[in-house]
Structure 1
Amino acid sequence: MTLLDTERLSEQYRDLDLRSTNGVVAALLEDQARAVTAVRDASDDLSRAVDLAAEFLARGGRLVYVGAGTSGRLACLDAAELPPTFSWPPSRAVALLAGGREAMWEAREGAEDDEEAGVLDLRQVQLSADDVLIAIAASGTTPYALAGLRYAKAVGALTIAFANNPGTPLLTEADVGVCLHSGPEVISGSTRLKAGTAQKIALNTFSSAVMVRLGKVLGNLMVDVRPTNAKLRERAVRLVVTATNASETEARAALEASGFRVAVSVVSLLRSVDTAEAQRLLDAAGGHVRRALT
């Protein structure tokens, strides 16, 4: 039987259970470090995925993730963190996990084989040609994710795939296939290890870079953060001060006037306009902060 690379036995760690605890920890950390290399090697495809996704999203499309198991849970995490980090509307970051929401907390391994569910879940969220579908699976062959990707192509959505085995259907059938070639795991077949780490790095990089392209970042400042607690409100003040060179008093006043919307406060102070005009400038710029300033 031909094995996928992620299923192969790593000869380097055949004696894992005989090593000291320090030795086991060292082996796991050593192998995890290879996840960074796997993502770096895919940087060209990752960049292409970012540029294409940003085009679709600028026209009003959604990010729709499909995955199973560890891959699906990582996709859910990525989608969940976009609203508080970039004020991205929750309705435009949809994560579909094989087995449903309960599978986030309790493994439902059989759900990944349900091709019909991969299609039905996308129909339920009314996937359209304006959307960006992100299919993610370590194997690159997971039926749930693959069926979802094929359905997305049929409706005309942009399809992006992340997988850890080269030449697999998920990668070859997507508009952009991002191969995170991480190889065999320390613990044979346990893709929650460096395959999952590579996926987490790639998803973080992809979604963050997309938000940069959409103007949700000014310089390297997170100027569209949603300050929903005390810590984040203090961060918002620091962001406004750093972006505008205003005093802390001026920054707080601008934030209070804008309902603690950092981007609006930044535009208001730098353009010397009131909150309403700052919001109008942002709306005219499609939410892109730097364009609103220039």
Structure 2
Amino acid sequence: MSTSESIAAIRTELGTLTTESSNSRYPDLGALNTGELVAAMNSEDALVPSAIETALPTIAGIIDEIARRMHDGGRLIYVGAGTPGRMGILDASECPPTFGTDPSLVVGVIAGGTKAVNQAVENAEDSEAAGAADMAALNLNGNDSVIGIAASGRTPYVIAAINAARARGAFTVGFSCNNNSPLGAAAHTSLEIEVGPEFLTGSTRLKSGTCQKLVLNMISTIVMVRLGKTYKNFMVDLRATNDKLRARSERTLMRATGCDAGTAANTLLETDGHVKAAILAIMAGIPANAAAALLEQNHGFLPAAISAGTP
């Protein structure tokens, strides 16, 4: 197929996608004043949560599959091109400071490599070979989970990555904003959430990007809850490495245990800033080093460790 024939075929395919359709509610953005434009964009964004709501059972099933595999030593990999790739990298980068995870546990992969985070890399999303190679470089196994993200659901790089990940035994998810997508068909689980035409035609960094951000927040956060990275509704696996985090850690320790500020500060010092170990030391009345060992014996699950360490 010639280049012109390939482009014509893609043009025809794009014409079938909701994400590429024109928003009839706002046919001429330039005719609206700034206040009207702000209100219109806000109204469009407000449609996203209700669209996600229809997919909640599917999202819950995905979370359980990922958590089960990560409990057995697996990783969570996001892969995408352009905005979806950046969303994956953003979510992955937030896991270490929020949940104390190793940076290798949740990974974001973007077509075109790190250069593509800050600028567009020509033809990167069209390279099936690169998608397969990027997955091969990760040495995937059956405990890993790979979420391919593409608003259109047709990005060659992402589909190839999902095919490669599936061939290596990883659990795969095809996350798009169009129904009946090739990406969804390639993966074990299809997650397709239609948010409707964009405010600016074809600009899928808008509602589609918002949808991706909300869903990835949901997946990573609840997976970490399932892995025992939280206690009640507190972040407890972070380590206090700056003044703001030290203050937040002290407040968390005080609220979780009822201790005073002095006890919180001293206990955090003894646990090298590890909030979870500090909570256990106070709740079970044990030394900091014993708390760390007891947490390890209970696979990091704080309620189980508290029960085991309390006379």
Q: After TM superposition, is the score higher than 0.5?
A: yes
AA aligned to 1:149 is: I
CA contact (8 A) 1:16 1:24 kept: yes
Query: In the alignment, is residue 53 of structure 1 matched against residue 63 of structure 2?
Result: no
| Equivalent position of 1:271 in the other structure | 284
AA aligned to 2:218 is: T
| Equivalent position of 1:105 in the other structure | 118
| Equivalent position of 1:79 in the other structure | 92
| Equivalent position of 1:132 in the other structure | 145
| Equivalent position of 1:44 in the other structure | 57
Where do 5+ consecutive residues of structure 2 fail to align? 1-11
AA aligned to 1:220 is: N
User: Could you tell me how far apart the structure 2 residues matched to 1:264 and 1:17 are?
Assistant: 57
AA aligned to 1:83 is: P
Q: Which of 219, 242, 245 is 2:255 aligned to?
A: 242
* Range with greater deviation from structure 2 (50-59 or 167-176): 167-176
User: Could you tell me how far apart the structure 1 residues matched to 2:179 and 2:297 are?
Assistant: 43
Deviation per residue, 1:68-112 (Å, 9 max, x gap)? 000000000000000000001101122111000010001125211
Secondary structure, in 3 states, of the residue corresponding to 2:190?
A: strand
Q: Which of 222, 246, 262 is 2:235 aligned to?
A: 222
Secondary structure, in 3 states, of the residue corresponding to 1:147?
A: helix
CA contact (8 A) 2:241 2:273 kept: no
| Equivalent position of 1:259 in the other structure | 272
User: Could you tell me how far apart the structure 2 residues matched to 1:166 and 1:23 are?
Assistant: 31
Q: Greater RCO between the two (CA within 8 Å, min separation 6)?
A: 1
TM-score when normalising by structure 1:
0.97
| Equivalent position of 1:63 in the other structure | 76
Percent identical among aligned pairs is: 40
User: Could you tell me how far apart the structure 2 residues matched to 1:238 and 1:109 are?
Assistant: 48
| Equivalent position of 2:45 in the other structure | 32
Structure index of larger Rg: 2
Secondary structure, in 3 states, of the residue corresponding to 1:152?
A: helix
TM-score when normalising by structure 2:
0.92
* Range with greater deviation from structure 2 (188-197 or 121-130): 121-130
* Range with greater deviation from structure 2 (123-132 or 48-57): 123-132
Q: Which of 140, 146, 169 is 2:159 aligned to?
A: 146
| Equivalent position of 1:5 in the other structure | 18
User: For the structure 1 residues 227 and 109, does the alpha-carbon distance in structure 2 shift closer, same or farther, using more than 3 Å as the test?
Assistant: farther
AA aligned to 2:153 is: G
Q: How many residues align?
A: 294
* Range with greater deviation from structure 2 (123-132 or 60-69): 123-132
CA contact (8 A) 1:48 1:176 kept: no
Secondary structure, in 3 states, of the residue corresponding to 1:130?
A: coil
CA contact (8 A) 1:83 1:226 kept: no
Where do 5+ consecutive residues of structure 1 fail to align? none
Query: In the alignment, is residue 198 of structure 1 matched against residue 238 of structure 2?
Result: no
